[in-house]
Amino acid sequence: MSMRTSLFIALGVSALAGSAALAQTVVRDIERPDMPGRVVFEQQCAPCHGTGLGDDGSPTLPGTAALDAKYGGDRPGALELRSDLPAPVLRVIVRRGSGAMSGFRKGELTDEQIDQIAEYIAATAAANSGG
């Protein structure tokens, strides 16, 4: 099991140029259960949708920033805290893409791997619910 070191940093930032400043909760470290989907997530999703800092002073990575801006606080921008992405939903999003994210091909990410990611996300969301 991974060690839990939760750190929640409240920042007032303007996520994207032109958007109104909004209070975001930037999540840095969360509990991450050891399961097959974790490695897949870390390699395929986390470089854009992880909880780390973005490049060169950005408070969040691009995918997390984009979802923060999209949901305006109604849902977490960090995918690992989303409890509403079961495998059938995730498959559609991953295959078809969304906004600046292009769809992922079966040659690079199998259906089984997407299902593993969905299980991992559900587990991380549950493990970190309630702060």
Point out which residues bind another protein (CB under 8 A). 43, 47-48, 53-58, 61-63, 65, 95-97, 99-100, 102-108
Residue number with CB closer to another protein (73 or 103)? 103
Quote the least distance from Cβ 80 to another protein, whole Å. 16
Quote the least distance from Cβ 43 to another protein, whole Å. 7
Residue number with CB closer to another protein (12 or 107)? 107
Buried b (16+ CB within 10 A) or exposed e, 23-45: ebebbeebbbeeeebbebbeebb
Say if strands 22-27 and 8-13 run parallel, antiparallel, or are unpaired: antiparallel
Residue number with CB closer to another protein (4 or 96)? 96
CB-CB contact of 28 with 105 (8 Å): no
Q: What is the dihedral of CA 91, 102, 30, 74, to 10 degrees?
A: -80
Quote the least distance from Cβ 129 to another protein, whole Å. 27
